Amino acid sequence: MKELKKYYKLQASPADVYNALTNQVMLEIWTGDETDFKAEPGYEFSLWGGEIVGRNIEFEANKQIEQVWYFDKIESPVSIKLHPDKKGTSVELRQQNIPDEAFENIADGWDIDYFGALEELFNE
């Protein structure tokens, strides 16, 4: 099992980034796919038409999102922390317990599909 820790900069306020990560309509806009999401602890969510599934753990408005993503029967904790930055928001991502065979795909997915798509959304 592997762990991933990355940082991203987005040209939007923490409130706007948080909204994009927790509002189902916004999630569908920037992912371009079907989403089932409610920003409620315990809610079982699905992103990208079921490509990513998991459970919401905790939310701190405009500051932090805690989730668990599922890899079959393996639970992979995900923490997204939002920090105000001079030009918008600095995002701290940490994902633990990633199966070795999924690590490269997950790392690329965060860079391209997740935060890459958010960057495009906010830079339009």
Reported as a single tens digit per residue, the pLDDT across 64-106 is: 999 999 998 999 999 999 999 998 999 999 999 999 999 999 9
Structural domain count of the chain: 1
**Boundaries of domain holding 37:** 2-123
* pLDDT tops 80 at residue 11: yes
Q: Rounded to whole angstroms, how far apart are CA atoms 84 and 91?
A: 9
Q: Rounded to whole angstroms, how far apart are CA atoms 110 and 116?
A: 8
52: helix, strand or coil: strand
Q: Rounded to whole angstroms, how far apart are CA atoms 62 and 17?
A: 8
CATH number of the domain bearing residue 54: 3.30.530.20
Entry pTM: 0.95
Radius of gyration of the chain (CA): 13
